[in-house]
Every structure is written in structure tokens, then in C-alpha cells.
Chains A and B, each alone.
Chain A
Amino acid sequence: MKNPNENPKVNCDDIQRLLVNKISDELTRDEDRLVEEHLKSCGHCRSYQNTLLSLKDSMQIGRGEKLVPDPAIRENIIQRMKTSQPQETGILRSTWQYVKSVFQYRVPVYQTLSGLALIALIFLATKQISFSPDQRPPEPRSLVRMEMPAPTQMSVVDNLDILAHQKIGQSAKDDTTLTRFIVSTM
């Protein structure tokens, strides 16, 4: 057995200081060897080392108190996570959510219906106005210009309604006949 006083500079106080660092794994290899050598022959330092090891051992989780996290904590937090997270953001889902939210308001039915009717009217009016040239409906028959031959003097006389009114120019038909004749002779 080696003499503990082999190194005259090392005494029990020094070793105990090193032992304190040893339980925090802060010793160099040489220091560790020095401590081990000393412990072989020093019961007092061995006892001190045991105290330190008991101290470290007692600090470990699971030693001493039988503490277990309350299971309600996990459940509460997970529940809170589920309620606080936003719903998935699909376009259909978000639209449906929006529609539902709109219908949650107490809107009078007649207002809703009249609003919808107004929207429909605006839509139809827009549809009427914005025809493309190809889609334009045919003009009424009365507005179609008919190609008519230039009236002759005889046909003018025939067409005037002299017999009915004893005078020329008493009806719209006469006016038209005369006007056309005059225009054709100019």
C-alpha cells in the first residue's frame, strides 16, 4: 500500500476540494489519479466521497419523492391546442364557413329577397345592353326599308285619295304619295 503522504504537497483538504469537483466531472486525468491513490489509504476522505455521492444520487430524478405529472395537464393543453388552431384552409371550406357566418346574422327575409331580386335585375339589364354585334336582335319589320319604284304621274293620280276628300292633301297617305313624287322628279 502506498503511503498517502507520498506527495507531501497533497493533504486531505486538497483531496476533498478535488472530490467536490470530481462529482461534477471536472477533474483532469492526473488529478483523478491523485485522488484515487489518496482514497486507497484514507478512510476519512472515502467517507467524504460517500457523502458527495449520496448527495449526487439523491438529486437524481425519481429518487426520494414519487412525483408524477398530473395527467389532466396534458389533456387540458391538448384540448386547448385543438380549439385554438385555425381550421384547414380549403377554398370550399372557407367559403362554407363564410356563408355560415353570414347566415348567423338575423337578416330579415324580405330584405334578403329584395336584395337578390335587385341583383338579378341588374344582371339582366347588363345582359341586354352588352350584346355583341352578332347577337343583336333583328330590327322590327316596320323599320325595314323597302325598295320602292319611283312613282309615275299616273300612279300618283291613282293613289291620291281625291274621291274620299274632294281635295288633294287631306290625308297622310296623300302627303306621302305627293312627297315621294316630288322627290323623284327633283
Chain B
Amino acid sequence: MGAEAVTSSQGTVDRKKDEQRGKNLSVGSIIDRVSWLANLIASVLILMVALAVCYESGKRYFFNAPTEWVMSLSMLAFTWFPFLSAAYGIKTNRHIACDVFISRAAPRTRALLGVATDLTALLYILGLGVYGYKEFLDAYGLGAMSSGTLRYPLWIVRVIFPIGMLLCLLQMLRKIGLRITTLYDGRLEKNAGAARSAKLMLALYLVNLAVAVWVLSVNMPVGIMVMTLTILLWGVPIAFGLGAVGVFGLLFFHGSISGLYTIPIVAEKTVSHFVLLAIPLFSLGGVILGKSGLGERIYDLSAKWLAWLPGGLGVATCITGGILAAMIGSSTAVTAIVTLVAMKPLLDRGYSKTMVIGTVTGTSLGLIIPPSIGFIVYGFLTDTSVGALFMAGFIPGAMLVAMFSVYVIVTCIITGKYEKMHFSWPQRLRSLKSSFLILLGPIFVLGSIYSGLATPTEAGAILVIYSLFCAIVYKQMTVKDFVDCLMESSAISTMILMIMIGALTMANVVTLLQVPSNLAELIVSAELSTFSLIVILIVFYMILGMFLDGGSITVLTVPVLAPMLSSLGIDTVVFGVVLMMLIETALLTPPVGLNLFTVQGIVDEPLITIIKSTLPFVAILLFATVLCLVFPKLSLWLPSLLMNY
């Protein structure tokens, strides 16, 4: 405990020092400013795309006159987006890493290991940059054109690979430089023991990496697995780490450095998918709504109408979570808002701390209730209609809200730890009036998808415009807040997109090695019962969920599992819903559980208290997962009713 306190205070000192140094060091601060500016440009591009896409859907719907330029230019902006903003992610440490083990090490060890893991990440950054540059030259020389109605030279797309990776390279070198100066500036423990253990850990990492390379040369599939574990568990940022595994795999499989051409091909494939444009759009809309006070209003509304029930405020919290999830595409964002708005009123009304923490943490259904960034990624990976997935998530999501609510009511009746409240009808109607505008949000967004007026991507654009409208009407946002929203949401989306590109590079090698088809044959030939299959799946995802975030889990496992779903007798859409439930569960399980960390960051309770409080909700989620696997109709009924899925 004491050691951790030292660590964290040292961390703060580090950061302050770094900031100062950033101001003094001219080259470094220029790099920082360029990254900041590039990220701002990236997010403004997305904002403009949102406006253009809305204009396009309106023009098509009302005047039956689609434009030729909107789709093409939006796609161009989107291909530039993650590469412009990736370096800012490095600067602000947004690229998540699996650092459960590393974070426990002493500062000197962390700094030294950080240099090594950053250099590992650079392997991939260089691979994408250099071979992206070659692809750019190729397109330029051949005069290759893009596809689509409005065609432009392909080199305009590819030129962003070397530019973006150059920015990442500079930012990474700056980070490494800062780590090295930290090592030598004498603030760290000076004793010989600390220095020795730092060097020992570094040697361990290098030996581990060497062993992984050796295994790769003996047996590639096993080697890929060993290398993935090595690189992730030693704390290389996931996006670049998976890419680095891909680099090693491609080199070994093709037996030549020209195997790295796959990296820019995969990157281009990923960012030229229209449906993925929905990720930055939903993310921007969600961040703006969160900052314009929607959480408070929705909570006020549900509380006024439900507080008369036993455990009514708890139920109101569950409902608030559900309504927010119907506008926000990520789970962690919903959890953060619910915790901020519902925590205090619940504690004030005598609800037990366990119940309160459990409810605010557990009611995160952002990925199951549409819109969902998870479904967008899954739909892209499995070539499934994102619209169908969105519809499929609705009933299971509503079912979970109901199950959570029943649990809250029953527990509150048993423990008696709650306080009923009564509000008059004028009060209720006033709360309805004040949140009416926000309630229209899900109706607009989901309605436009369900009625077929808009594709999920266009719905994302509608959400952005709608959130801007709410922000203006409720007057809760300053210009600075707005810029923060832009910067934050683009950093979040880029992190997801970069993880996808890295993981897909690795997935290319895994496919070359025929791992999915061999695995499927193995499982099918083992003739497991449906029940044992379900158990294996759940255990498998629970284990992954202990160490990885939802996005990484999806991109790592779906390309391997999706091809075998049909032989296992599981529908692709149903599996998508089940996967989102398992990921929501993973977000609630230690040691890596983003939602746990989010709540801990707000309530300042020990992690163990939060984990214990959340357990009943984890159990309900797992129960619902089994229900969805056993009764596919729960997911499939709505898509089959509305869109002939």
C-alpha cells in the first residue's frame, strides 16, 4: 500500500516536471503542439462529415436527390481521421495497455521497461509508415483512382499513412526521451538494488521476447500466441502491440521483408469501410450529450416518476442507464454519467453503499442497447448488417434493465434500506417537460434506423447534430467545453480504430496459418454438447475479459470464431448480442475492468468494495447471456419483424 502511494505521488511529480520540460524544450513542445493540432483537425473533419451526411440524408429523403460528393468526401475524411489523431493519443497516453503487472513495478523499472515497450511499438509504427509510403508512391506512379461515384487519386488516401506514422514516431521518440531523462535526473531511488531490479526486469522482457521469436520460428501458431501474451502482458500499448505481433508473423510467414506490404493494405481496408465512420460520430454525439447535462435531466425524470416504488430511486438509476445507453454507444461513458448523477441522491436516501455502488456500476448496457460501437465493430468483422445487430440488441437490453430493476426492488424490500418518496403530478410533468427534448434523442436516432430512413452511419451524424442542438438549447457548454468534447471524442475513437487495424494485421497472419479453420474442425469433431460449448465460451471470454478491454477482445476473437459459428449452430447476430453481454461483464471483472476503474475514479472507494458490490449484476448479466444463447428468438425477433433478417 505504502509503495503504491509513493508511486502515485511520484507520478504526479513526473507529470508536472514533464509539463515544465515540455515548455522549455522547443523541439519537444513543437511535436506536442503539432499532435494537438492534428487531432483538432481530425475532429473538425468528423464534425464536418456529420453536417454533410445529415445534409445528404435530408436531401435524399425529402427531395429524392442524393448528392455525388458527400459519401466520397466523407470517406476520404474518415480515412485521414485516425492517422491524424493517433499521435495525440500517444502524447496523452490514450492508447490503452494491459498494465496490471507493470503498474506494480517500481518507478525506475517502469521507466526502463517503458523504453523497451515503446521501442517494440515503434516496430509496427515504422512498418506501417514505411510500407504505407511505398504504397503511396505506387498509387502515385500508377495514377490509381478510388472507387465510388466521385473518384479521386488513391495517393491522397495513402499519403496519410506515412504522415500519420511520422507524427507517431516523433511523439514516441519524445516519450522515450522523457523516460530516459527521468532515469538519469536523480529523482528516482538511487540505491543499487532498484537499479539492479530494473535491469533484471528489462533483461526478462528481452529474453521473453527472444523466446517468443524462437517459438515463432519452430511452430508459428503457438509462436503467435506466445508473442501476443508477451507483448500485451509486458504493457506495450494494445494497438501497436498487436500490430507488432503482426509484423513478426508476416516476416516469418512470407520469409521476406516485403511481407510487410500487408500492413498498409489492412489499414486501408479498415478505414475505407463506411460503417466504421459511425464510431467517431456516435462517440462525438455521446460526449457532447454527456457534457450538456442530459444525465441529470433523465435521472430527475425517472426519479420523479419511480421514487414511490420500494427501491424506486434504484430502479430510476437502472432506467436512466437504459435510456442513456439508447443514445450513447459506449458502456464506460454511460457508467460515468450514471455514477455522477445517481450516486449522491441514492446515498442521501438511505440506500446501502453496496447497493448503490453495485447499481451505478452494474447498469451499464451501452454496448447492448443500440447504438453500440461494439456492434459496429462486430458487424464490420463478420459482414453482418449493423442495422440488424442494433435491433437484435434492443430486447435483450430492455430485458436486462427489467431484471436489474426487479433485483433492486427485491433486495430493497428484504433489507429495508431505502426511502420512498412521493412527487406530485405537477412536479412529474415539469420533469417530463424539462427532459422532453432529450427523450426525443433515442426516438430520432433509433427511429431513423428502424424505419430504414437512415443507415447506422447516418444515424450517428443525426445524433451529432441533435446533441449540438441540445447543447445550444440547454446552454450548459462553453466554447472551451466544446473543443474538449472534440479532442476527447476523437482520441477515444482513434484508440478503437487503431486497435482494430493492429488486430486485423495480426488476424491476417492467424488466418494464413489456418488457425480458425483448424480450430473449427477440432471443436466440431469433438462433438461437444451445446451446454458445454456455452460454458467453454463464457469461461473463455471471462478469462480474456480479465486482461483486455472490450474492443480488443472483439477484434482478437471474432475473426477466429465467426467462421465456425454456423458449424456450431449459432446465428451470427445472436452471437453478436451474446458477445456484447460478455464484454459488458468483462468490463465489470478484475483485474482489468474499465467500468470498475471509472467508478473508482469518481467515488474513491477501494476497488474491492466496488467489485463485491457489482457481483450480483455480473451474475444477472451471465444469466441473461445464457438465456440469449438458449432462446435465439430474444435477439432475432425484432430484426426478423422489421427487416426480414
Question: Do A and B originate from a single complex?
Answer: no
Question: Which A residues have a C-beta under 8 Å from some C-beta of B?
Answer: none
Question: Which B residues have a C-beta under 8 Å from some C-beta of A?
Answer: none
